[in-house]
Structure 1
């Protein structure tokens, strides 16, 4: 007796059954792409009890995410920011939502006077500094000047960072094993240091001014690492990648309401969250794997190679000497 033949499957039912598979594969690819764009995550378990940390621009974005992470692990975190009121709002939110408490101190990187006042006030309150995260910065801003009449991006991203770091070196050295994390960007590869017209007054370009400021950060970081080679202070550079933060406030997709709404899905998908952008910063600030490592450049929690002008030691030295003059520091051997 022959076995009964099964009915031939209905083609329409087969086609219909493909849709869950198609949808599942599409969602899987979308999710995998989004996870890849988030970048590597810092997963090392760390304890920061007793550590004193300064984070510039810690009231929002990457700095805020880093401040929360460190406070949760026991560090005494000081947010140094231009707008003290907004900084306090961020600190209060951390305390309310996350039961973490941080200190807010005014420090406007566009004002040498403000930076000096911050350092003086900090040294009266604290006897050590374990971690300095130079996170604050501006990007693609219109042609404006700092209090000392330097182009805003160069003045805030580089000169403010330079002066703050130099004024804190004594307390960093006195703290034993301490760390400095400076923030750069891929745009540094396109930068030129225009010593003859550092403000680019003749032909201002927001993009070129930004690239100049980030190249200066690279040059200074490598120069500083060499100066500190016989100390227990290490300095490294982080490239956080493309992060959806207030740093892009001067770009059209942020300051134009129509574009902001239109591009919001793309921005959400392509750009990192501030927490994701903070991961490499946290690696350089906290990881035991970085002990003794200095003068390096990291992206997505991975050591990357600096190339081109950033490695020019003569350019590094020239920038340092000019920066000492620009900021009014007396040159001394560190």
Structure 2
């Protein structure tokens, strides 16, 4: 009996822990029939999981991806289960030319867009510059979504109400504003992979706050979402997880504390569907959370937006208001 009791108690504890780390579940009942939703990075991970959840709600889905082969495979799997319009569009966030081409295509083909989900991201990517001469992590995670959002604002604000959802991370707390300013101004200087990622996510939350303020008199809501740690390809460059032996040693911990992509997508879905009209939120586990201190300072929010516009203008591009 003692072994049976121990097994039951251990199993119960593991179940409770798994449910805790799985986070919140979107309880919104709204549908999205004929509503156009763009999801970047939808060929795998949270983006792919979200696409299935959106299809279940009847949305018209645009899979905005760099890898068209994988994106078309996701499209085929969605269409096996749901009879909804699903489009695959090429988008490389490391290229302003690709972003502009994508946005022009969307603005021409669709009368309006209900939601833009800036989900695509990289972590621990090799330090190199994009064709636009910005750090890969910084452009993929921040500048690319920044530019894309500005270029799609006309289509988003044409919708009776719309949502912009920026997929952020708790990592945004790992860096202060002075470090972010320095990294932003010095794209070619060496920095740690962790700092590069944290900087890009803090920048994204600051952008969320600024854009929410700018669009305060419209029906467009802008919110950032922390999906939590999820089992996705974003960790493919991370040494502790790309090494199969180290990965194997962590499996029991990962099963408990790391979310499945469908679990990570719940807060993103909540941000798309919720009837809460609050904008500029930082959402964790389907609830409003408090971001890091710099994000609460309006002067810092404006200052950082202006700096972003400045470095883009210096590169010969003006995408700002």
140, 146, 153: which one pairs with 1:156? 140
* Equivalent in the alignment of 2:268: 281
Q: CA deviation at 1:98?
A: 5.6
194, 197, 200: which one pairs with 1:207? 194
285, 289, 310: which one pairs with 1:304? 289
Q: CA deviation at 1:313?
A: 2.3
Q: Which runs of 5+ in 1 are unaligned?
A: 1-16
1:176-209 CA-partner distances (Å, limit 9, x unpaired): 2101111111111122323476345444111111
Cα distance in 1 between the residues matched to 2:319 and 2:244? 47
TM-score, normalisation: structure 1: 0.89
Q: Which runs of 5+ in 2 are unaligned?
A: none
Contact 2:55–2:78 (CA under 8 A) maintained in structure 1? no
Number of aligned residue pairs:
314
Report the 3-state secondary structure (helix = DSSP H, G, I; strand = E; otherwise coil) of the residue aligned with 2:31.
coil
Greater RCO, CA 8 A, separation 6+: 2
* Equivalent in the alignment of 1:55: 39
Matches within 5 A, 1:8-157: 17-96=1-80, 102-157=86-141
Cα RMSD, aligned residues only: 1.7
* Equivalent in the alignment of 2:303: 318
Is 1:169 the counterpart of 2:162? The answer is no
Question: Cα 1:23–1:103, aligned 2, differ >3 Å: closer, same or farther?
Answer: same
Cα distance in 2 between the residues matched to 1:315 and 1:113? 29
Cα distance in 1 between the residues matched to 2:210 and 2:78? 36
Give the structure with higher Rg (CA).
Answer: 1
Q: CA deviation at 1:25?
A: 1.4
Q: CA deviation at 1:119?
A: 0.5
Contact 2:111–2:155 (CA under 8 A) maintained in structure 1? yes
1:251-303 CA-partner distances (Å, limit 9, x unpaired): 12332122233323322222000000011101000122x2x210111101111
4+ residue runs over 4 A deviation: 97-101
Cα distance in 2 between the residues matched to 1:196 and 1:30? 41
* Equivalent in the alignment of 1:272: 259
Contact 2:150–2:320 (CA under 8 A) maintained in structure 1? no
Cα distance in 1 between the residues matched to 2:115 and 2:213? 18
Q: CA deviation at 1:164?
A: 0.4
Report the 3-state secondary structure (helix = DSSP H, G, I; strand = E; otherwise coil) of the residue aligned with 1:194.
helix
TM-score, normalisation: structure 2: 0.93
